Amino acid sequence: MSTILTTIGKQVTIYLGMPVFISGIVGGILNLIVFLSLHTFRQSSCAFYLIIMSILNIGQLFCGYFSLRIINALIGVDLTAISLFFCKFRIYISQLCSGLSLTCLCLATIDQYLATCSRVHWQQLCKIKLAYRLVLISTLIWILHGIPYLIYFNDVLSSSANQTSCVSVNSIFNNYRNNFFIVVLIGYLPMIIASLFGLLAYHNLQQMSHRTIPLIRRELDKQLTTMVLVQVIVNIFTLLPYTTINAITTNPNLANDSNIQEKLQFALTIINPFYYAYFSVSINELLITLLL
């Protein structure tokens, strides 16, 4: 049974994962070209967050998906199991890209909410210099957050399966990663924040028709708010299933049932392409929204 599930999982990774990866890379590059070529967006704090997020999404597709799961499915080689440096480096960069990408999404939705508020002193918080500082501070936080990954992740030989795997060797850090980092920090928390401020920004946008605002400013806010809302919708539909399955997997009542754990791991393998679709679809959706 496990062999059949493994084979199915590999086929799903190849035939769903490859289109997700390729479209994400191509869309991300085109997205950055469009963003950076328009002076209006280069001066917008919200657009700056989205630009940084696009770069991080490309990095996550390479480090988090292609370098491990797609290569493993295509040639049957786990690169993290044959190189200790790659074992530590891949997981470190992956947590940095995913965490900072979702942070930028939250900052973009908050920024757009403030930009569309009727209160002038709140609108004044939407400055490109402040955006630079917030991204820098967030980057430093996620860089420091990743240090335990460099310390505790190692190549470990399993005596039962006679197979080397890149895993955390510290049980306390492992519990933190499984129960808080994956489920909360890059799971439910950014979904809640982005959804809340995205809806508030949309509400503000509906009220802007009753305020005296220059047409160019109104159109820019409309376009940026649309981008943010698209991001929020993609966020929910791609990240929610993966986060929920991970939350179920860490349930202590199911930890000792090998049959259920095997099925949950298979479910995670099937859902993985949809999880990484967040990093692919989001940058493609941004490009489509920009061109409309």
Confidence (pLDDT) at 56: 93
pLDDT of 213 higher than 90: no
> Taking a C-beta distance cutoff of 8 angstroms, is the pair 116, 225 a contact?
yes
pLDDT of 189 higher than 70: yes
Which residue type is seen at 147? I
Query: How would you class 20 by CB atoms within 10 Å of its CB: exposed for 0-12, middle for 13-18, buried for 19 or more?
Result: buried
> Taking a C-beta distance cutoff of 8 angstroms, is the pair 261, 254 a contact?
yes
- Taken in order 230, 141, 127, 44, is the CA torsion positive or negative? negative
pLDDT of 287 higher than 70: no
Residues 6+ apart with CB under 8 A from 165: 78, 80, 81, 155, 156, 158
Enclosing H/E stretch for 118? none
- Host domain of residue 115: 1-291
> Taking a C-beta distance cutoff of 8 angstroms, is the pair 59, 97 a contact?
yes
In tens, the pLDDT along 53-101 reads 989 999 998 888 777 777 777 777 778 888 888 889 999 999 999 999 9
Which residue type is seen at 289? T
Confidence (pLDDT) at 284: 53
Alpha carbon distance 100, 54 (integer Å): 11
- Taken in order 138, 182, 73, 237, is the CA torsion positive or negative? negative
Q: In CATH, what number is assigned to the domain containing residue 176?
A: 1.20.1070.10
> Taking a C-beta distance cutoff of 8 angstroms, is the pair 149, 87 a contact?
no
Can you name the residues that pair with 162 across neighbouring β-strands?
none
Can you name the residues that pair with 247 across neighbouring β-strands?
none
pLDDT of 6 higher than 80: no
Helix 258-291 crosses helix 45-60 at what angle (to 10 degrees)? 140
Alpha carbon distance 160, 199 (integer Å): 50
Work out how many domains the chain is built from and give that number: 1
In tens, the pLDDT along 233-284 reads 878 888 888 888 888 877 766 666 667 777 777 777 788 888 888 887 655 5
pLDDT of 198 higher than 80: yes
Which residue type is seen at 128? I
In tens, the pLDDT along 104-158 reads 999 999 998 888 887 878 888 888 999 999 999 999 999 999 999 999 999 887 7
Q: What is the mean pLDDT of residues 30-58?
A: 83
Confidence (pLDDT) at 130: 93
This model's pTM is above 0.95 = no
